[in-house]
Amino acid sequence: MNRSGGLRTYVLTRIALAVPTVLILLTMVFLLMRVAPGDPITAALGARLPAKELEQRKKAAGYDKPIIDQYGEYLGQVATLDLGESVTDNRSVTSIIKENGSATLELTLAAFMVTLMVGIPIGLLAGRFRDSWIDVSGRLFGIVIYAFPVFFLGFLTQLGAGEVGWPTSGRASPIVDFDLDKITNFYLVDTLIAGDWSAFWDVLQHLALPALVLGLTISGVLIRLVRVNLLQTMRGDYVEAARARGVSERRVVVNHAFRNAMIPVVTVAGLQFAILLGGAVLTEETFNWPGIGSELIRYLNERDYIAVQGIVTVFAVAVVIVSLLIDLINAFIDPRVRYR
């Protein structure tokens, strides 16, 4: 098998595997929502209308149809990218994803930057100065920060931030939020487009705490991973050869060991994206961040089948796509993967 043929087969196999993965996820979401007790009509009006009236309303909404019919309709909607309208507040799922999804993505990307900015340097320093106080401190920080639940760390930072008047909830102050021309729905970008620096500062302040909390929590994994990988690569023959040639230790670490140490980090960093999405749900709840995660919890509590199915579908597809991308990047940067 030649080099390009092997890569093509690998890519096609991975894409083909993504389809049943998504289908299984969609089916599980659908069934779990139907098995769980309650329905959106009863949840909203159960203590107000007689049972007969509730049954009529459920019938009108189509909840009395056989499960298999509802499942068929659901898959048909997903296939045509029409995810329907939420039952409880009549919002199209597409608009929920667009408006609240952008808030989650903005938070996740900012948190991811924090993760990289904290995790990689600390991991590198810990690996470079193995068994020194820097190493011990870095490892201790990594373990402790990873052990902190997001909501607890969030609560602690809220307490501190509240004391100094730093914003602890929402994406922006109410008036800034209203005045902002939402072109991309990424508030930082929108304030830059508008050239409104005071709004930019306001949005940045609101983003800082949730991004820091979420990013720090995830950075613990990265610290340990970067450290271990750096230690392994530092033992490589080519590193010894570089040292023997008289290359400075700094150049050995940065130019030789670091790049190779980063290969497995790319994979794990990609996987952290899924964890970040999960963590974003908790972070959004803690900081009243109007993201898709907090909406998911609200719709779950209200048993809004349509909204939950739509949001989880998007989550599932996003994670599958990211996993696929990681597989492909791995295949490009590591020849052993595609020839296995």
Partner 1 sequence: MVRNRLLALIGVTMGLGLIAAGCGGDSSDSDSDASATVIRGTTDQPISYDPAGAYDLPSYDGIYSMYQNLLTIEPGGNEAVPEAAESCDFSDKANKVFECTMKDGLTFSDGSDLTAEDVKFSFDRNVEIADPNGASSLLANMKSVEAPDDKTVVFNLKASDATWPLVLTTASFAIVPSDSYPADKLQPSEEVIGSGRYTLSEYQAGQQTVMEKNTEYQGDAAAANERVIIQYFDKASPLKLAVEQGDVDIAYRSLSPTDIDDLDGAEGVNVVSGNGTEIRYLTFNTELQPGDDDAQKLAIRQAAAQVIDRQAIADNVYNGTVQPLYSMVPQGVEYATDSFATEYGDAPDVDAATQTLEDAGVDTPVPLEVWWTPSHYGTASGDEYAEIKRQLDESGLFDVTLKSTEWNQYSTAAFTDKYPTYQLGWFPDYPDADDYTASFYAPDSFLNIHYDDPEMNKLLAEEKGSDDPAVRSKAFERIQQIGAEDAPTVPIWQADQVAAVRDGVEGVEETFDPSFIFRFWLISKS
Site residues for partner 1 per CB under 8 A: 36-51, 53, 57-58, 60-61, 87-91, 96, 99-100, 158, 162, 165, 167-179, 192, 196-202, 204, 284-285, 287-288, 290, 294-295, 297-298, 301, 303
Nearer to partner 1 (CB atom), residue 137 or residue 173: 173
Burial group, residue 272, by CB count within 10 angstroms (0-12, 13-18, 19+):
buried
Query: Measuring CA to CA, which residue among 86, 128, 117 is closest to residue 292?
Result: 86
How far is 312 from 307, CA to CA, in rounded Å? 8
Nearer to partner 1 (CB atom), residue 155 or residue 238: 155
Smallest separation, CB 285 to partner 1 (Å):
6
Residue 218 phi, psi dihedral angles, 5° rounding: -75, -25
Nearer to partner 1 (CB atom), residue 39 or residue 327: 39
In sequence order, the 6+-apart residues with CB closer than 8 A to the CB of 199 are 172, 176, 179, 180, 191
Smallest separation, CB 57 to partner 1 (Å):
4
Smallest separation, CB 183 to partner 1 (Å):
15
Smallest separation, CB 139 to partner 1 (Å):
29
**Alpha-carbon 291 to chain mean position:** 11
Smallest separation, CB 310 to partner 1 (Å):
14
Nearer to partner 1 (CB atom), residue 201 or residue 238: 201
What are the structure tokens assigned to 320, written together?
A: 């599958």
Nearer to partner 1 (CB atom), residue 10 or residue 287: 287
Smallest separation, CB 105 to partner 1 (Å):
16
Nearer to partner 1 (CB atom), residue 86 or residue 323: 86
**Helices marked H in 129-196:** 133-147, 150-164, 174-179, 187-194
What are the structure tokens assigned to 23, written together?
A: 């289908």
